[in-house]
């Protein structure tokens, strides 16, 4: 598996770039991203989290599909994605991130998204997602813009976890997957 870049690494704060169909070894990269996500028990992983500032993310919610029908067959790669609409109601749900070990916080986001993207064969798609799938998509999509879920907390919650985030960025955390912290 590839190392997961940890909070404090500059690549997590960059705005990632679209890729073109001639991007080298895309299928292999996506396979490695799935592998890395599965090995670290994640349900989503964005390319900046493996140190690549490109607009690619993978999701796999299928282990949870029995509990949540919106996750049925929800295993795919989103390339050059654009969320074109976020709508319906605001919902609060607890989120975590492989790049921010051992922090879980409630984040408010829209319940539905309409997203355009190409798949690994550069075939275009436009789909609407709701529920947990919409949640995962919005979290991963944020990574492409250098945004982390902790940025979306209230000022009070941000203040409360500031020390923990600082400690993580200095390497004071423990995880059981391969990681990388670049200063």
Residues with a known catalytic role: 140
Binding flag, residue 56, Ni ion (CB under 5 A): no
Task: Kindly write out the interface string for residues 62-101 of this chain, putting x where it contacts Ni ion by CB under 5 A and - elsewhere.
Answer: -----------------------------------x----
CB 11 within 8 A of CB 5: yes
CA–CA gap between residue 25 and residue 103 (Å, rounded)? 33
Among residues 122 and 177, whose Cβ is nearest to Ni ion?
177
Residue whose tokens read 């879980």: 104
Query: What number of residues does the chain have?
Result: 183
Pair of tokens at residue 126 = 């436009």
CA dihedral in degrees (64, 89, 130, 33; nearest 10)? -70
Binding flag, residue 107, Ni ion (CB under 5 A): no
- Closest CB 45 distance from Ni ion, rounded Å: 8
- Closest CB 99 distance from Ni ion, rounded Å: 6
Q: Interface residues with Ni ion (CB under 5 A)?
A: 97
């Amino acid at each position: 598996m590839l190392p997961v870049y940890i909070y404090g690494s500059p690549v997590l704060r960059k705005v990632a770039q679209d890729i073109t169909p001639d991007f080298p070894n895309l299928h292999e990269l996506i396979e490695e991203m799935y592998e890395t996500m599965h090995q670290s028990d994640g349900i989503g992983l964005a390319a900046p989290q493996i140190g690549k500032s490109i607009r690619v993310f993978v999701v796999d919610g299928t282990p949870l599909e029995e509990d949540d029908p919106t996750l049925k067959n929800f295993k795919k790669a989103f390339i050059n994605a654009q969320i074109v609409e976020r709508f319906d109601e605001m919902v609060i749900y607890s989120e975590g991130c492989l790049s921010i070990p051992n922090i879980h916080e409630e984040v408010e986001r829209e319940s539905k998204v309409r997203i355009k993207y190409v798949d690994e064969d550069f075939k275009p798609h436009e789909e609407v997602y709701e529920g947990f799938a919409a949640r995962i998509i919005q979290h991963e999509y944020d990574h492409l813009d250098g945004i982390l879920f902790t940025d979306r907390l209230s000022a009070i919650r941000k203040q409360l976890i500031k020390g923990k985030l600082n400690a993580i960025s200095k390497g004071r955390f423990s995880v059981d997957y391969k990681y990388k912290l670049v200063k």
